[in-house]
Structure 1
């Protein structure tokens, strides 16, 4: 973005702060609002763009035990798709596994919160399911555990992707957010390589059990942290 455009956006934000609540007279506030409207029209801008460009970027991360962390990347990718964030995983072999989300502040926070909902559900349901395998041989238990978690990750990822409404055609605010995130990653010199190597074990009976468990997880509480009043995920408005 050019310096001139930056200056225009800064000017608009300054004018928007000239309100009666901030000590201006009513006439001054009306005059400022008129100037904002004129600047928006003259420069083909919207208030959505002004606000989105003023929002800071953050990186949120979560540490997870290896068996869940190695499989929840599928869920993390679905969450990143839902929240318009970027996600990546710590290098193969790391323990604990760290899942990262990078994006606009409120969206990366929501992404991390939703990941916590899913990881806790995977941990709790695995604990319950493992009681059925207590008498199995150790190698069978390990196989069942992995397949169960693969099934849960598959189910949760599918359901989370289905939560996102279709994108409107053209260059909407979502497209702008994508461009801003990519530009910030470029500025930070961050480059990523797809290192996913393992395939889910969908042949073991535990996989179907995991999918059934994943279908039962209540995702609604994960749409936003309870302390925030951020806009709905995937929407263009507040």
Structure 2
């Protein structure tokens, strides 16, 4: 029987309102993401023995062109204990999160938080000297691409650190952590194979070019690393949404 996910959807919908416009930082939003994943674990909603037939895919539009930030989505999928893959529909790309229905809702939420954080980093970067010294549309586009490459490299380990903490393997050897990831994803991949779904490697994006690349790359990396997913959540109303009780 399919579980009632309405309460989880309500909680995540409320968490999506944790925006800078509403007085919250991306750090607080990512902290909320980790708490949401902990909520699933504490309520048993991530039980890997769930009937595989209930697994489903949730597509998220990523635009007409792929971008460096798209390299982070597989990390988001692992964090949420899902599988992920790229899909082209017409002239647009989308990333599909596949797995337990509860987990893919968390993946969708974390995806949006990361997208917002990258957008904030780009907005702040445009106000800085490295960007303002660019004189052509091409060099402006390349410097923003370099920024996003660095941001992706910076934030991905922070997201994975959340999974290690949740699973109690922080500080353990890399081989042990990799074995954990494989054990999480193995039944999901088996279900994809059972459904006859296979995937071809996607052509890698060309890296940003230009003598300004290193400066922008570093700025992006620093922005990604500065997002603290252990940041405290602001306000009792938000905390209430993240408990496993009946409060809403």
Q: Give the TM-score normalised by the residue count of structure 1.
A: 0.61
* Residues in 2 aligned to 1:145 and 1:80: alpha-carbon distance in whole angstroms: 25
Of 58, 61, 85, 2:59 maps to 61
Q: Secondary structure at the match of 1:163?
A: helix
Aligned pairs for 1:147-158 (under 5 A) are: 147-158=146-157
Question: Structure 1: where are the runs of 5+ without partners?
Answer: 1-9, 11-46, 231-238
CA contact (8 A) 2:56 2:101 kept: yes
* Residues in 1 aligned to 2:89 and 2:63: alpha-carbon distance in whole angstroms: 13
1:62, CA displacement in angstroms? 1.6
Question: Match of 2:199?
Answer: 192
* Residues in 1 aligned to 2:146 and 2:71: alpha-carbon distance in whole angstroms: 14
Aligned pairs for 1:1-238 (under 5 A) are: 52-54=49-51, 56-65=54-63, 69-91=66-88, 94-95=91-92, 97-132=93-128, 133-134=131-132, 136-137=134-135, 138-165=137-164, 166=169, 177-201=184-208, 203-220=213-230
* Residues in 2 aligned to 1:48 and 1:105: alpha-carbon distance in whole angstroms: 9
Q: 1:51 to 1:198 in 2, by over 3 A?
A: closer
1:105, CA displacement in angstroms? 1.5
Instruction: Report the aligned-residue RMSD.
Output: 3.7
Q: Secondary structure at the match of 1:72?
A: helix
Q: 1:127 to 1:52 in 2, by over 3 A?
A: same
* Residues in 2 aligned to 1:106 and 1:229: alpha-carbon distance in whole angstroms: 15
* Residues in 2 aligned to 1:180 and 1:208: alpha-carbon distance in whole angstroms: 38
CA contact (8 A) 2:78 2:181 kept: no
Residue-by-residue CA offset, 1:153-189 (whole Å, 9 max, x unaligned): 11111221233323997xx997665333122212222
Q: 1:48 to 1:76 in 2, by over 3 A?
A: closer
CA contact (8 A) 1:201 1:207 kept: no
Q: Secondary structure at the match of 1:102?
A: strand
Higher relative contact order (CA 8 A, sep 6+): 2
Question: Structure 2: where are the runs of 5+ without partners?
Answer: 2-43, 232-239
CA contact (8 A) 2:153 2:221 kept: yes
Q: Give the TM-score normalised by the residue count of structure 2.
A: 0.59
* Residues in 1 aligned to 2:125 and 2:155: alpha-carbon distance in whole angstroms: 17
Counting matched residue pairs gives 178
* Residues in 2 aligned to 1:49 and 1:155: alpha-carbon distance in whole angstroms: 27
